[in-house]
Each structure stands twice: as C-alpha cells, then as structure tokens.
Structure 1
Amino acid sequence: MIRALALCLLSFLPSIAGAEALPALFSVKGVAANDVLNVRAAPSAEGDLLGSLPPGATGVEVVALNPEGTWGRVNIGETAGWVSMRFLAREPGPDWISLDVPMSCYGTEPFWSLDYAPDRRNMMLRQMADENDLGLWINWHIATSGRNGQIGWNLSGPARQGFATLTAERCTDGMSDREMGLSISLFLNPDQESAAEPIGLSGCCTLSR
C-alpha cells in the first residue's frame, strides 16, 4: 500500500524536473590559465569587483539568474555576487529536485545542521543542544501542486517522524551576506513514549561540496 502510494506521488515530479532547475553546480570554462573570472556586486561588467574564481573551478553553485539569464548569483567567501554565465558550464547530473544530489542544510536560533545523502535517502540532523545526531529517512516525496520548485518530504527515524518542505528560492542565514538557493522547513514529532518536545526548524540548503 505504501509503495503504491509513493509511486503515485512521485508521478507528479516530472512536471517540474524537466526544466533546468536552480540551484545547480557549474564549472568555469573559457577562462585563460593566466586569468580569472570576476565576481561583481551587480550583474554588469561595470559592477564593483568583489573577488574572482580561478580558471577551471568546479562545483560553483549558481543560486539565481538576472532577468536576462546572462549573469548568475554565486557565493564567494562570506558574500554573494554575480558572474557572467558566458564562462560557466552546467555540470552533468540530475536537478536537485530529484533528490539524487547531496546537500547540506543549516539554520540558526537554534543552531542546527542537516546533511543529506541521496544513495539511501538518508539525512543526519545535528542540533547544538543535543549530544546525539538524529538519523532520518525520506519515505516518499511529492511536488507541490501549482507551484514549481517545491517538494515535500515524509520523514521517519528511530525516535521521530514528521515532514519537511524544500523550496527553490533565495535564502539567507541572517549572519552573513551569503545566499543559498533552497529554503527548508522541518517539522518533527517524538515517538509516543518520549517526553521530548516537537521540533520546528527553518533554514537554507546548499549543493556546494
């Protein structure tokens, strides 16, 4: 019964997974070995220079595009800037929405982090106040009807169960000028025999390795 339900729910995903989705990882291309790719404060060659990416750099996460699609929003150090998409090539692999790519999520107040491993649909949740990591598994996931770029997860683990929503939108941690391309809301209940309180967390996710 559960397997049949999961297959039915997954059938909704192709409607949003077909198009190239951001965030995604790119490699620097077409930059001479003795040159760099400039990162600018505005999507323009006249924008203030914030830093640079080396030629041949890989795993560059683009979290958004300007309206013309000619400049991409990337992170460098503790800030975000713009690079010309002429010099970036999409790295092969599935879109994030397939859940076949690893990602890391984190949030503040309280501080927490979550590392997702796609091979087992497994994630580890760490909270500053807890001594032990919490293992969680995705039982099934489904796209939100009428809204591209959002999926919901049904989660379970040895001590908690619940759900999460993952949305493609620009997200900040409130502690730096960095920008992520995914926001997450996570809701977990303890098992019936536990005296623990429910958990509700929000934060940002990144594909950067």
Structure 2
Amino acid sequence: MDHKRANGMAFPGRAAAQVLLIGLFLGVAAPAVATQEYILPTLFDVTGVAANDVLNIRAAPNAGAEIIGTLEPNARDIEVVGHDATGQWARINTGERTGWAALRFLSYQVDVWTPGTLPQSLQCVGNEPFWLFRPQGDDVVFSTPDRHGAVMRIEKVVSSGIFRDPRRSLSVQSESRRMTAVIVPMACSDGMSDRSYGLDVTLILVEGDEAQMLTGCCSIATR
C-alpha cells in the first residue's frame, strides 16, 4: 500500500484564525501561519492501513520502486530520519538498508523528545576506534573493544528549549572517566552499512590527563 490518505493536519490557534478571517473579509493577503509539528528524526506509528494489508518500504520515493521491506498495519516506533523533496515519503531503515514509505500512512508520536531527557531507545555508535553508548535509566552504558559495558552516571541533559527539538548536550561521569556529548539532527553515515542516520554526535572523553574526541551517529530506532 502506497496511495495517499489525509492524516494529522494541524489547525491554527484562535488568534491566527482571526487574522486569517480578517484578511479574507478585507480582501487583503493574510500572513502564512507556520505550525511546527515535529523535527526529524522522531518516531512514528503506522496508521490507516487495512488489517489484512502492509505498508511497503521501497528502494526509492515512488510507488513503482522496488519493495525492500514491509511494515505491519499495527507497527509502532518507526524512526523516520528524513523526507523526500515532495514531503510525501519518509526515509526509514530496514535491516542494513535505507528505504522509503508513504508518509500519509505514518503518524508521529508526540512525546519522543521530552525536554531535559534522552529517549531510552537512543543508541550512538562510532568507529575508528569503535565505541557505543546508550542510556539506561539515569546512567549511560559506554562500550569500547577493551572496556565493555562501563556505566557512567548522567549529570546533566540540556535541550535547546525549542518544541520537540532533538538537539541535546549531556555530561556523564564515572570514577575514572568524564564524557560530554553534543547530539544534533544531521544526516550521518556509520561507514559500515547503507543505513541512514538522522543524528550526528561528537563526544569528548576524558580519562586521567588524556582527552579524546570521538564522532559518530545516533539512532532512536527500537526495531
């Protein structure tokens, strides 16, 4: 299933609606009303697909492209990392590939990026050298090839103050290490697969007198 369906339109507030009505009454152009619904990446759920059907994931953002995966009609927590130029297709990952699904059959979740917190599904990874970190309650679990699963306490998570903005900075610490990280929404590649990431991360890791800068990509995918 790829065809279009009306879904989730946002309506202007009372003041904005009054401006529009006055403009129409006077016959003059009213200013456009901008509504920020979400900032990518964020999580979506499949909506409007029949119980006996699936939502196709295609290799390119058009209904004739190769089908490389499918989503069940009740699928949840699907990470969308980008849109095509028309805004009608959502870039999502399936396996080790990136593909496209019709955006009209995806409904965004409203509580993914809560100010001052990290999504518990967040996972950041880098290579050369390889590293990985993910939140676990009030901690971050940080792994490298020579130190697997080191637990570091989250001291502070700072968000931008912009509604549903994924940008985050965080500081974490253990007895032997300190780490700061800055996460920003930006196209990112892990250099190891064809997956597309929507978050770029830079870490500063301090251990004793040694400081190291690490870069990588983050995902909030749960599947």
Q: Which TM-score applies when normalising by structure 1?
A: 0.77
Amino acid at match of 1:206: S
Amino acid at match of 1:32: A
Amino acid at match of 2:220: L
Is the aligned partner of 1:137 residue 2:154?
yes
Paired residue secondary structure (1:158): coil
Paired residue secondary structure (1:22): coil
**Using the alignment, how far apart are the partners of 1:19 and 1:60 within structure 2?**
17
Q: CA deviation at 1:152?
A: 2.8
Is the aligned partner of 1:28 residue 2:46?
yes
Q: CA deviation at 1:96?
A: 6.4
Amino acid at match of 1:207: I
Q: CA deviation at 1:62?
A: 0.4
Is the aligned partner of 1:172 residue 2:189?
yes
* Equivalent of residue 51 in structure 1, options 49, 69, 74: 69
Q: Which has the larger radius of gyration?
A: 2
* Equivalent of residue 214 in structure 2, options 187, 201, 209: 201
Sort the Cα spacing of 1:140 and 1:36 in 2 relative to 1 into closer, same or farther, 3 A: closer
Amino acid at match of 1:42: A
Within a 5 Å distance, the mapping from 1:1-209 to structure 2 comes to 20-95=38-113, 98-102=116-120, 103-117=122-136, 119-120=137-138, 122-131=139-148, 133-141=150-158, 143=160, 150-191=167-208, 197-209=210-222
Paired residue secondary structure (1:133): strand
Amino acid at match of 1:104: Q
The answer on whether the counterparts of 1:38 and 1:83 sit within 8 Å (CA) in structure 2 is: yes
**Using the alignment, how far apart are the partners of 1:105 and 1:191 within structure 2?**
23
Number of aligned residue pairs: 184
The answer on whether the counterparts of 2:57 and 2:70 sit within 8 Å (CA) in structure 1 is: yes
The answer on whether the counterparts of 1:21 and 1:95 sit within 8 Å (CA) in structure 2 is: no
Q: CA deviation at 1:29?
A: 1.1
The structure 1 segments of at least 4 consecutive aligned residues displaced by more than 3 Å after TM superposition are 148-151
Sort the Cα spacing of 1:188 and 1:180 in 2 relative to 1 into closer, same or farther, 3 A: same
**Using the alignment, how far apart are the partners of 2:168 and 2:118 within structure 1?**
14
Q: Which runs of 5+ in 2 are unaligned?
A: 1-35
Q: CA deviation at 1:199?
A: 2.8
**Using the alignment, how far apart are the partners of 1:140 and 1:86 within structure 2?**
33
Paired residue secondary structure (2:104): helix
1:119-178: CA deviation from partner (whole Å, max 9, x where unpaired) = 52x21111112256141424252549xxx7643323333212242110101211111111
Match of 1:6 in 2: none
**Using the alignment, how far apart are the partners of 2:134 and 2:166 within structure 1?**
20
Amino acid at match of 2:111: G
Q: Which TM-score applies when normalising by structure 2?
A: 0.73
**Using the alignment, how far apart are the partners of 2:52 and 2:150 within structure 1?**
45
The answer on whether the counterparts of 2:116 and 2:159 sit within 8 Å (CA) in structure 1 is: no
1:169-208: CA deviation from partner (whole Å, max 9, x where unpaired) = 121111111111111111111235xxxx323221111112
